[in-house]
Structure 1
Amino acid sequence: MPVDASQALLCWYAVDKRPLPWRAKADEAADPYRVWLSEVMLQQTTIAHARPYFEAFSARWPTVEALAAADDGDVMAAWAGLGYYARARNLLACARAVVAEHGGRFPDDEARLRTLPGIGAYTAAAVAAIAFGRRAVAVDANVERVVARLFAVAEPLPAARPRLKTLADRLTPDRGAGDFIQAVMELGQTICLPRGPDCARCPVAAFCAGCREGDPARYPVKAAKAARPHRTGTAYWLEREGDVFLVRRPAKGLLGGMLALPTVTPPADVDWHDAGSVSHVFTHFTLEMKLLCGHTDSRLEGIWQPIARIEEAGLPTLFAKLAFRGAAWRSAPQLPMGVAEVTRAAAE
């Protein structure tokens, strides 16, 4: 079954694959830089969301040398909204390592790719197979789902991952592993969906144990998730003459290296006005961030961004939401602390 299923999948992919911007055309060799860049961007992100970022990045920094020479702040700003910001920091570190240690050429095997910053087992396997034609077994969430359904793997994730990797290895051909990896991912993204798999269109339905059972969507079985912890915080919108005060977050930690509104402590001794709060979901917790707004006549040393061009600052999504509230407060009457609450209560 593995050989027949793999062949059916490859035949389907050869005809029906999507023309994605990071894929080499039929008469072109794969560009390791573009393969690597796309794989990093697609981690925990949909193709629809990542595609414009890939196109903008590859146009602005078309080679690994260009990216390695880029300003950190420019890259972090260009990444804003794509999430998982450690990826952007690792992207720069990896590009610089490729240039400094490998003469601008990506290593062509998994073991050496794994030595580069930010490249884990999946990305190393995907780049080795897609860019260099190596036989490698790359397993992401799409591959896990397809394999779990093909073999009706009842053991729940994450405990089932070693077995799913072994089964994916059985399916992976000795030649054409790069196409096979892309074919499985394509199947998981377009047909073998988490909910409502379209088995009537699936090229490997005849080989799928989950399909024969009549309920492929029950696979992969997932262990119950613990509830995300909930956290709270405060951000500060400080204005002066049409500008807002921003800070660069520490390189390590949540949203590291990104421009943001100040948090934790007020940046100035002014009257602060409650502008409400926004909620945001991170991978491991949810956050409710309260926004306090104020005005100053003193120009603190630091980064001042014109409010009219706040979108150019490349704020991460959480702070972009807060900035929307801050800009709205700017256009509203700025009442003394306490009066705003009384006025709001009267209006209600």
Structure 2
Amino acid sequence: MNELDQLPIPLLQWYHENARVLPWRSDPTPYHVWVSEIMLQQTRVAAVLGYYARFMEALPAVADLAAVEEDRLMKLWQGLGYYNRARNLQKAARQIVEEHGGVFPDTYEAIRALAGVGDYTAGAVASIAFGLPEPAVDGNVLRVVSRLTGDGGDITRPDVKKRMGAALREVIPLDSPGDFNQALMDLGAMVCLPNGEPLCPQCPARGFCSALREGRTAELPVKAAKKARRVEERTVFLIFYQKKVALRRRPAKGLLAGLWEYPNELSPAPCPVEAAGLADGPSGKHIFTHIEWRMASRMVEAASDRLPGGWVWADRDALEREYAVPNAFQAFQAAVEARLGPTETGG
């Protein structure tokens, strides 16, 4: 009997005693599971909880998500990052409305065909919401399987992911596939931790884990090194006129597509408006997947309210309620708010 064959019973027992209490698990409808899984992509659970609650309050059903205006959707997503996830959510919601009569599809293949849904998300929704015996293989699961079986394959390779998914499909319990998948996720998140520091004494698989037995927990899983990020030096212009700040919308495609930003350019850059006053502002840094922005800022008192085409003036209320400014500019938010003053409600 191999290691994975021995896993289901002790894993499920551990899960029933140690499962994380999460809002989408208390009411695992397809919509709830799907939205939560998209939010959790490359984002910590703790960071998602508040966003999930606000999102569900504003958009409680697929039809609401399909119909919401994009700016409103982006504002609900503001701060979660990877904004294409939100756009794909809406594309998929519209697919569900147009192709499935507003009813969430109940087969793996149909779920997988939705915009922004990959193998992992399709497996998670299919197993958790519909009880289908489909594996859900994310980074946590790959780490658990790699250590448990002693598999030295590079987990960034599609063929390795496919092999591990196929192995899990052979052992997934037909009567509790959702619990099994969520148990694997929790085990990776809570016990079989990354960076060579697993909490092996707490693991339900400690008695038959290859990596623990062979002293290889620090070297597994094998993961190819990421390419170095490109560094960009940028100048951010915090432009004020009376009690308003200038914003411009980013292009419809590319990094942070369609979101609002404080105007910025590769350094050095001239001030884009006629200025009555200039001063150095705070600096900041933001790391994207492939690019690192290192930003200096200039505080600009505009000589008039004239702005380039497509730019807008936003007061404190509009900035908080209407315009989705990504976290890349979080380092400048306190300076902007101090200059604009409190909201009309005193915030």
Q: TM-score, normalised by structure 1?
A: 0.86
* 2:192/2:203 contact within 8 Å kept: yes
Residue aligning to 2:106: 108
Residue aligning to 1:306: 315
Between the aligned partners of 1:306 and 1:54, the Cα distance in structure 2 is 27
* 1:249/1:256 contact within 8 Å kept: yes
- 1:21 counterpart (23, 28, 35): 23
* 2:108/2:123 contact within 8 Å kept: yes
The percent of aligned pairs where both chains have the same amino acid is 41
Shift of 1:156: 2.9
Residue aligning to 1:342: none
Residue aligning to 2:181: 181
Residue aligning to 2:11: 9
Question: Cα 1:308–1:76, aligned 2, differ >3 Å: closer, same or farther?
Answer: closer
SS of aligned partner of 2:154: coil
Residue aligning to 2:42: 44
Shift of 1:327: 4.8
Residue aligning to 2:299: 293
Between the aligned partners of 2:306 and 2:56, the Cα distance in structure 1 is 38
* 1:293/1:329 contact within 8 Å kept: no
Task: Give the unaligned 5+ runs of structure 1.
Answer: 332-348
- Corresponding residue pairs, total: 327
* 1:275/1:326 contact within 8 Å kept: no
* Structure 2 residue 247 is matched with structure 1 residue 246: yes
* Structure 2 residue 319 is matched with structure 1 residue 321: no
Q: TM-score, normalised by structure 2?
A: 0.87
Between the aligned partners of 1:309 and 1:65, the Cα distance in structure 2 is 27
Residue aligning to 2:264: 263
Shift of 1:242: 0.6
Q: Where do residues 1-348 of structure 1 align in structure 2 (5 Å cutoff)?
A: 1=2, 2-24=4-26, 30-159=28-157, 160-195=160-195, 196-264=197-265, 267-270=272-275, 272-296=278-302, 297-300=304-307, 302-307=311-316, 310-312=319-321, 313-327=323-337
Shift of 1:170: 3.2
1:191-241 alpha-carbon deviations (Å, 9 max, x no partner): 111142111111111121111123423210222333222122232221111
Task: Give the unaligned 5+ runs of structure 2.
Answer: 342-347
Between the aligned partners of 1:219 and 1:170, the Cα distance in structure 2 is 22
Residue aligning to 2:345: none
Amino acid at match of 1:292: R
Taking only aligned residues, the RMSD between alpha carbons, in angstroms, comes to: 2.2
Shift of 1:308: 6.9
1:39-97 alpha-carbon deviations (Å, 9 max, x no partner): 00000011111111111111121111112221211111111111111111111211122
Residue aligning to 1:336: none
